[in-house]
Amino acid sequence: MEEKLNPIDKSIHLLRIRDEKYCVHNSLKTRIKEKKAEQPPTAPVCVQVPVPTPPPITPTVKFNYLVAFLPAGILFILSLLFPLLLLLFFPALAWIPVYYFVFFQKEKRENIITIGQSPAYQQQYNMMLQEQQRLQEIENQKYSVAKQEYDTKILPEFEAERNSFISELEQQISRAQKELDEAEKAVNEYWDSEEAKILPDYCKKISGDRVLKPIQRIMQIQNVSVEEALKIYEQRRDETNRKTTAAFAQWNCQEKCSRETPKMSER
């Protein structure tokens, strides 16, 4: 035959069952929240093959040193025969940068344009573009296959698994809520029963479990009844409160005296 529990042990037992049901219920709610927030697998992305830049053009035109230095050279030689021509030698040197920056650079730019428009260069660049398009088509095909698999298999399987898991969790939460309500009802019904009327109201609050366990330890250690354990607990509680009040009053008095002492010394 099962031993009948006293009101203290019975209350602790019922509160423990209620707290266990509450923890299970909260755990299920957390799991379903995390599952609903779970993100689907990352969708495939089509790789973009970069468009090639045109190949560099090396101009074929060369700097003409004869045209650049010939005027100054002729004047320098003639100045040996006719010294007055030496006055024109230094202006003739100015022809060299004029030739380089005006005529040679223009010829160089035209040469680059000509090469860029040549069939050989255009064919080379077109081959690069065709290779890029070939590689891009391969990537497009890979993406098409991966996207189809993602849309028809991966994503539906993920959503089906998540929905099934959520549905199962919702059923578990419903059962856990029902069990929690029943456990809460059992606690309240017991505390309203004749058997539990011996328990003071402070034992039946939300934090009553913190009060009931010390009373249970008193009963176990001193081997006394519920009534005697309650009296001992209340005596200890009142004694603790008196000591706390006295200690606070003493501290308050010391603080007051320490503030008044400097004032008296100043006088």
Tokens linked to 68: 């650049």
Question: 23 vs 244, which has greater pLDDT?
Answer: 23
The pTM (predicted TM-score) of the whole model is 0.59
Residue 229 lies in a domain: yes
Residue 36 lies in a domain: no
Question: Rounded to an integer, what distance in angstroms lies between the CA atom of residue 71 and that of residue 88?
Answer: 10
Question: Rounded to an integer, what distance in angstroms lies between the CA atom of residue 204 and that of residue 212?
Answer: 9
Residue 159 lies in a domain: no
Question: Rounded to an integer, what distance in angstroms lies between the CA atom of residue 95 and that of residue 71?
Answer: 8
Residue 152 lies in a domain: no
Question: Rounded to an integer, what distance in angstroms lies between the CA atom of residue 101 and that of residue 109?
Answer: 11
Question: 67 vs 109, which has greater pLDDT?
Answer: 109
Structural domain range at position 230? 201-267
Examine the fold and report which residue of 138, 164, 188 is the final residue of a domain before the chain moves on: 138
Whose tokens are 């005006």? That residue is: 102
Quote the pLDDT of residue 7: 87
Q: For all residues of the chain together, what is the average pLDDT?
A: 86
Residue 168 lies in a domain: no
Question: 260 vs 65, which has greater pLDDT?
Answer: 65
Question: Rounded to an integer, what distance in angstroms lies between the CA atom of residue 168 and that of residue 164?
Answer: 6
Residue 5 lies in a domain: no
- Find out whether 199 and 9 touch, Cβ atoms under 8 Å: no
- Find out whether 167 and 154 touch, Cβ atoms under 8 Å: no
Which residues are CB-neighbours of 40 under 8 A, at least 6 positions away? 155, 158, 159
Residue 8 lies in a domain: no
Q: What is the dihedral sign for C-alpha 141, 147, 153, 154?
A: positive
Examine the fold and report which residue of 103, 118, 138 is the final residue of a domain before the chain moves on: 138
3-state SS, the chain, equals CCCCCCHHHHHHHHHHHHHHHHHHHHHHHHHHHHHHHCCCCCCCCCCCCCCCCCCCCCCCCCCCHHHHHHHHHHHHHHHHHCHHHHHHHHHHHCHHHHHHHHHHHHHHHHHHHHHHCCHHHHHHHHHHHHHHHHHHHHHHHHHHHHHHHHHHHHHHHHHHHHHHHHHHHHHHHHHHHHHHHHHHHHHHHHHCCHHHCCCCHHHCCCCHHHHHHHHHHHHHHHCCCHHHHHHHHHHHHHHHHHHHHHHHHHHHHHHHHHHHHHHHHHC
Examine the fold and report which residue of 138, 172, 187 is the final residue of a domain before the chain moves on: 138
Quote the pLDDT of residue 1: 38
Banded model confidence at residue 142, pLDDT cuts 50, 70, 90? very high
Quote the pLDDT of residue 127: 94
Residue 127 lies in a domain: yes
Average pLDDT over residues 244-257: 76
| pLDDT tops 60 at residue 206 | no
Number of structural domains the chain divides into = 2
| pLDDT tops 80 at residue 227 | yes
